[in-house]
Amino acid sequence: MRQGTNLPRVGGYNQAVVLDAIRTAGPVSRVELAPLTGLTSQTVSNVVRRLLDAGLVSESGYAPSSGGKRRTLLSPRPDGAYAVGVQLDPDAAVVVVVDLAGEVLASRRVALPDGAQPADIVPRVAGAAQRLTAKAQVDPARLLGTGIAAPGPIDGPAGEVVSPPNFTGWGRVPLRAMFETATGMPVAMDNDATAAAIGERWIGGRARAGSFLFLYLGTGVGAGVVLNNTVLHGDSGNAGEFGHIAVDAEGLPCDCGGTNCVGPYVSPAGVIGDLLRRHGAEAAGRIGVSGAADAVHRDWKALRQAARGGDTAAHDVVRRAGRRFGQAARGAVALLDVSRIVLGGESVRGIEPILCEEIDAAVNATCVARSIRRIDVEKSVIGDAVGAVGAASLILHGNYAPGWRMLTQA
């Protein structure tokens, strides 16, 4: 748990520390909050009063009596704040409206035409978001903004995506500024894997406190890194480019120009290619995989279903992908010293058990790892929509998670 400070002029920061503690440990009493936050009971009392006044927490009952005065319990108020989240993929944008508790109030998948350009996409998605917040009957005064989970690479400080693979004709696109203009609201943007990790941290409560590596599989693969409750961005906002970790590979070319990156072996298109190479057209036909360039979404769904249903060819290629995932993950956890790996993203649906098993075997295989600590490998607590919910969490987390920015900005 992050420690607060009793110095003056850090009210906003302490408010965030206390709200974070209530969200993570709640329902919780004022007496318990003091040791959890490192604040004096007088400061806790003052901060809680401000959070109650702001409508961000509520008094939600009493702790069981242990003699003496009963302690009032505090819980976060779901209707205290809202945010819109947008997960942008080449074929669709998933838009969600999320409350302060992380509950999805409404969601919509906006199909995007092949080769669509930013100038078409942004107004279309912003319009869908506006209709969705109206449908969810969100109090506009409590709507904090829109978060965008964008495919990497990004220029984080500038709020731009930079020639993302799979988006034909996109160069350097000032996506954050474009959405700010289209929505008239504050906009936060991060790469999809980092947004997913922030969502997992924000919503996962105690289960996602501390440090973890989030492995994200969408159209491509990426990772989000949370160390001691702090999200790692790196200097340019591209920390966690897991897809370009080198593995013992067979020479498949990667978008980056490399020939031993893990990405081409574990991405949906890569695994579909592996099925065709290893098991041929007959297996692909049986499973319902066409191999066509524009059918990756459909093919991948069929392949996952077949793998889950026990088809040996489908199971084989998914397991191979899991092994490569594991090989790259082993290097990452050796560097980061995290005791948890979380797997998520819409492309892992149904095959999490196979992938988690292989990753688990790889990262817990060596005696060094075993003698210090076991690494838990788990699927996302959010599920399919982790990218979009993560995007909304960028806004909630940015406003309410205790961070240095609160102390350094006026």
Contact between 209 and Zn ion (CB under 5 A)? no
Contact between 261 and Zn ion (CB under 5 A)? yes
Among 233, 244, 324, 330, binds Zn ion (CB under 5 A): 244
| DSSP per residue, 65-104 | P-SSSPPEEEEE-GGG-EEEEEEE-SSEEEEEEEETT--E
CB nearer to Zn ion: pick between 38 and 331: 331
CB nearer to Zn ion: pick between 164 and 204: 164
3-state secondary structure of 40: coil
CA 218, distance to chain mean position in Å, is 11
**Is the peptide bond prior to 153 cis by the omega test (within 30 degrees of 0)?**
yes
Contact between 233 and Zn ion (CB under 5 A)? no
Contact between 328 and Zn ion (CB under 5 A)? no
Residue type at 378 in one-letter notation: E
Residue 62's CB is within 10 A of a number of other CB atoms, namely: 13
56 and 76 Cβ atoms separated by less than 8 Å = yes
Residue burial 84-109, b: 16+ Cβ < 10 Å; e: rest: bbbbbbbebbbbbbbbbbbebbbbbe
Among 256, 292, 334, 407, binds Zn ion (CB under 5 A): 256
3-state secondary structure of 145: strand
Contact between 365 and Zn ion (CB under 5 A)? no
CB of 267 to Zn ion, least distance (A): 11
Contact between 258 and Zn ion (CB under 5 A)? yes
* Candidates 75-83, 253-261, 268-276, 350-358; binding stretch for Zn ion (CB under 5 A): 253-261
> Judged by CB under 5 A, how many residues of this single chain contact Zn ion?
5
Handedness of CA 207, 331, 321, 360 (dihedral sign): negative
3-state secondary structure of 394: helix
CB nearer to Zn ion: pick between 328 and 386: 328
CB nearer to Zn ion: pick between 254 and 394: 254
* Candidates 131-139, 217-225, 255-263, 275-283; binding stretch for Zn ion (CB under 5 A): 255-263
Residue 171's CB is within 10 A of a number of other CB atoms, namely: 11
Contact between 259 and Zn ion (CB under 5 A)? no
**Composition of the chain by helix, strand, coil, percent to 5:** 50, 20, 30
CB nearer to Zn ion: pick between 85 and 152: 152
CB of 262 to Zn ion, least distance (A): 8
CB nearer to Zn ion: pick between 46 and 260: 260
Among 254, 341, 342, 348, binds Zn ion (CB under 5 A): 254
Contact between 221 and Zn ion (CB under 5 A)? no
Where on the chain is the footprint of Zn ion (CB under 5 A)? 244, 254, 256, 258, 261
